[in-house]
Structure 1
Amino acid sequence: MQPAQDRRTFLRLGGMAALTLGAGLPTSTTAAPAEWNALGRGLDGKLIRPGDASYDAARRLFNPAFDATRPAGVAYCASPSDVVECVNFARKMKVPLAVRSGGHSYGGWSTGSGLVVDVSRMNTVRQASGRATVGAGAKLVDVYDKLAARGVSIPAGTCPTVGVSGLTLGGGIGVVSRKYGLTCDVMESVQMVTADGRLLTCDADHNPDLYWASRGGGGGNLGVAVSFGFRTHPTRDVTVFFLHWPWAKAAKAVRAWQAWAPAAPDEMWSTLHLSSEGGMDVQIGGLYLGGRAGCERLLDRLTSGIGPVSRTFVKQTSYSHAMMIMGGCSTLSVSQCHQPGSLPGQTRDGRLSRDNFKGKSHMAYRPLSEAGARALVAQIARPGSHTVLLDALGGAVGRVRPEATAFPHRAALYSVQYYAHHVGAAAWTRNAHAAMRPHFGDHAYVNYVDPELSGWRTAYYGANADRLARIKAAYDPGRLFRLPQGF
């Protein structure tokens, strides 16, 4: 059995897929053509404008739902100085500013009517002495591949084409987070261009408040990240698994999984998918940092509480190939595991397609009751093409204090993503989210940003919201970086 299609179908965007950097709200645009031309000449990278041959490709995000947006310019920045130039231009000319790393923003906030600052060309990945330096535009598949060549990695998600910047700035839930923490937990420094055009190094000793805010405060709020320093961990062979049950076992699987997954050894990460895509299905997949025998012993504890599986895939493999499996690229090369094209971040032999979807989220701080599990299963059983994805937390994630970083959800047992395609997707996600609110409460993950979410400050940031607002006021008092859900 090949697991790739299952994972790619259910996590086309990535279950921990991440929010990329955000876009500004529309304001008056005063820049004349001559000023745009001057901006283009001043960049080491390339400015693409309406009418240019590559404009239609350059303006698109991962989600075709936002294809109607037509920015006045897309700047593929080749260096931090290019980003400084763009930020100063936007501030001086009062041009709306959007910042893009991977283009996966659930709200479409990595585009806008003005200038899109795309950092995809800034994608260098270097590693030495237990530390990786990663350009903000690096795609996750390339980060995994280049670090694996040095026998190391960082904890991160599954979606191969997500940009490392948005993933990190919003927290970074991933497939080894229970062992090594969130992506933002291993971020030791970030270089950022702020609204006044300064390039700042932020770490525990330099601009520590901005460093704190960049560890889970969400992309697009405070500036343009151009480079990150990460603490790495050594890699080894791991075991991946995908178990399926008939739909009649769905509620039982929810109750058994949520009791097992957050309390499993740190080496075990898992995700539960309840899906109506291609037929009703219950799948529990995941990754174990160890051999097959140890993995199967832990899985036996889970399956004993659910019943016999209908399909099973358990395979020990290299760390790098495991990341390809979890990203839906098990039969592809690293080059093929990109979107096709000739623009930065794309490859000419890329095989990955865009995806039109709607999504919402919860963070589960307590287990679902039996009634709650039945309610969740009932939502999946409604007509349409949709999935609910539950990703285990606990472990190292929960051993960090909620106020230690801007990411507040340290006590959450798992994240919940409502993800739908095609006709009726918006209505289904809205109704499913509302139906489960009495069971999960009002906690949400900023990397699954939800433009319809009321009370978003508390939902995303909890008690950390007030400190984030103060830092925003200090570094961007004129609110150059304007998100619909931004401080």
Structure 2
Amino acid sequence: MAALSIGAASPAAAEWTALGRGLDGTLVRPGDASYDAARRLFNTAFDAVRPAGVAYCANPSDVAECVTFARKVGVPLAVRSGGHSYAGWSTGTGLVLDVSRMSKVSYSAGRASVGAGAKLVDVYDSLAKHGVSIPAGTCPTVGVSGLTLGGGIGVVSRKYGLTCDVMESVQLVTADGRLVTSDANHEPDLYWASRGGGGGNLGVAVSFGFRTHPTREVTVFFLHWPWARAAKALKAWQSWSRAVPDELWSTMHLSSDGGMDVQIGGLHLGGRAECERLLDRLGDAIGPTSSSFVRQTSYGHAMMIMGGCSTLTVSQCHRPGSLPGQTRDGKLPRDSFSGRSHMAYAPLSEAGAKTLVAQVAKPGSHTVLLDALGGAVARVRPDATAFPHRAALYSVQYYAHRAGAASWTANARAAMRPHYGDHAYVNYVDPGLTGWRAAYYGANATRLARVKAAYDPGRLFRLPQGF
């Protein structure tokens, strides 16, 4: 989710005090014991940012109170769910509106109601108790709000679609402080824009209604090859990932992070024998693996494996702390990283593959992550939701951390632009991206601008890359 900047006003201490007293939740201010923890995002690169206040909203009325406060006094407002904004736009120097306390997950008759502050690990865990789930991502501490509003590429997207594709309704507090429920029949333009238009553009989401799918045992896999086979593996994966049934989703990682590595991992909505048969086709094209892991397990445990939490409890699979969204026994660390993206509409040529492999081979701690699309994602019209990249074969994420991260991601994306073009994914928001409207939204940008003008004519929500 993202920040806005609407002037240089400095509300008086009494105004902040009045805001805090009017909330059912909690307002954290500089000097409070929890302030340093409250102001931090997942990415340590933004630790120098010091908000004037962080409001942990307990309900939609609190959200409306904060929106009205920001509008009346002119303070910059940032909206935060999971705090994973690649550009750091879920913090700022004014008021940070955090929805983490609104995290309830409930289920009834094939539908899930999910608070905007729920973290993915808790969504998966809560729905698993009912034998259902929704298509979503792998990072356990990502907030459901930002993921959904930007589209939501995930581990079962080829079978069940993007997260926004199963979103049947969304409640938002708009710039005028109203609580609005939108779906296909009520406020349909707002509903359309909320399915891929990006968080923070139109209002503050407070809850979602999702259509669920039943779960069963699945098979997860991670295969590794020597770096010398990187280009061959890339060529084979691009062909294989499109030819397999929708029940199989895969991701390819080309990494220089403690060693050079080629990994193809993923999840198959079926038994181990069938998964291994499909994987054998890939192995035949690439050659012998250096290591392999294939395991049939429950759907819920598979999500823990994909999130890097296979040896942890659900409670441990959080950031540590006592603030909303954290747990006292949480074990997940923060990171300092830079990320950029492409959306691949055609397979890489041999020259393109060589260029990508060469970029990864440069010194540093970085990875290129390629996530397969197609299947159910591609069967939705590009203009049916605000997410336009229905014809993309896979998403591309350039991810780097530690020293030189921003330089490497910028150079890698620039090197691959002749091969991938200009398409990008708004959930990997890139502040250095030129032509971002077309890159993120394609032909849908015009309609998004109209919806923005209708619901926020005064442009209260002003993102660096926003309508």
TM-score grouping bracket, smaller chain normalisation: over 0.9
CA distance in 2, matches of 1:42, 1:263: 56
The 2-side partners of 1:426 and 1:66 are apart by 13
- 1:32 aligns with 12
Q: 1:251–1:374: 8 Å Cα contact kept in structure 2?
A: yes
Any idea what SS the aligned residue of 2:121 has? helix
1:44-94 CA-to-partner distances (Å, cap 9, x unmatched) read 000000110000000000001001111111000000000000001100111
Deviation at 1:423, TM superposition (A): 1.0
| Number of the residue aligned with 1:15 | none
CA apart distance, 1:26: 5.5
User: In 2, distance between residues paired with 1:423 and 1:58?
Assistant: 26
Equivalent in the alignment of 2:41: 61
CA distance in 2, matches of 1:167, 1:368: 27
Matched residues in 1 for 2:57 and 2:121: separation? 21
Which whole-Å deviations, capped at 9, do the CAs of 1:120-145 have from their partners, x for residues lacking one? 00000000000000000000000000
1:475 lines up with 2:451 in the alignment:
no
TM-score, normalising length: structure 2: 1.00
Partner of 2:258 in structure 1?
278
Shift of 1:27: 1.8
Within-5 A mapping of 1:11-160: 21-25=1-5, 27-160=7-140
- Percent of aligned positions that are identical: 82
| 1:418 paired residue number | 398
Residue aligned with 2:172, SS: strand
User: 1:262: how far off?
Assistant: 2.4
Q: CA deviation at 1:474?
A: 0.7
Shift of 1:201: 0.3
Does structure 1 residue 200 correspond to structure 2 residue 173? no
- Using the alignment, how far apart are the partners of 1:263 and 1:251 within structure 2? 19
Distance 2:18 2:457 in 1: 27
Q: 2:292 maps to which residue?
A: 312
Pairwise CA RMSD of aligned residues?
0.6
Which one is further off, 179-188 or 29-38?
A: 29-38
1:329-478 matched pairs, under 5 angstroms: 329-478=309-458
Give the Cα separation in 2 of the matches to 1:27 and 1:236. 52
The answer on whether the counterparts of 1:451 and 1:485 sit within 8 Å (CA) in structure 2 is yes
> 1:173, CA displacement in angstroms?
0.1
Q: Secondary structure at the match of 2:185?
A: coil
Cα deviation 1:220-257 (Å, max 9, x = unaligned): 00000000000000000000000000001000000000
SS at match of 2:147: helix
TM-superposed deviation, 1:30: 3.8
Distance 1:91 1:247 in 2: 54
1:323 is matched with: 303
TM-score (norm: length of structure 1): 0.95
Find runs of 4+ consecutive structure 1 residues off by over 3 angstroms. none
CA deviations on 1:323-352 (whole Å, 9 max, x unpaired) are: 000000000000000000000000000000
Compare 418-427 and 408-417 and name the one that shifted more.
418-427
Q: The residue matched to 2:376 in structure 1 has which SS?
A: helix
CA distance in 1, matches of 2:227, 2:465: 37
Q: Which runs of 5+ in 2 are unaligned?
A: none
Counterpart of 2:269 in structure 1 is 289
Does the CA-based 8 Å contact 1:26-1:113 persist in structure 2? no
Is the 2:82–2:141 contact (alpha carbons within 8 Å) kept by the matching residues of 1?
Answer: yes
Whole-angstrom distance in 1 between the partners of 2:290 and 2:450? 53
Deviations 1:149-202 (A, max 9, x none): 010000000000000000000000000000000000000000000000000000
Higher relative contact order (CA 8 A, sep 6+): 1
SS in 1 for 2:453: helix
Alignment-derived partner of residue 173 in structure 1:
153
Question: Match of 1:198, as an amino acid?
Answer: R
CA contact 2:6–2:74 (8 Å) conserved in 1: no
Tell whether the 8 Å contact from 2:28 to 2:35 is kept in structure 1 after alignment.
yes
Deviations 1:443-487 (A, max 9, x none): 000000000000000000000000000100110111111110000
The total of aligned residue pairs comes to: 467
2-structure distance, mates of 1:313, 1:260: 19
Secondary structure (helix, strand or coil) at the match of 2:285 reads coil
How far apart, CA to CA, are the structure 1 residues paired with 2:77 and 2:243? 43
Cα distance in structure 1, aligned partners of 2:438 and 2:247? 31
CA contact (8 A) 2:6 2:460 kept: no
Whether the 8 Å contact between 1:187 and 1:230 is mirrored in structure 2 is: yes
- Give ranges in structure 1 of 5+ residues lacking alignment: 1-20
SS in 2 for 1:396: coil
CA contact (8 A) 2:145 2:199 kept: yes
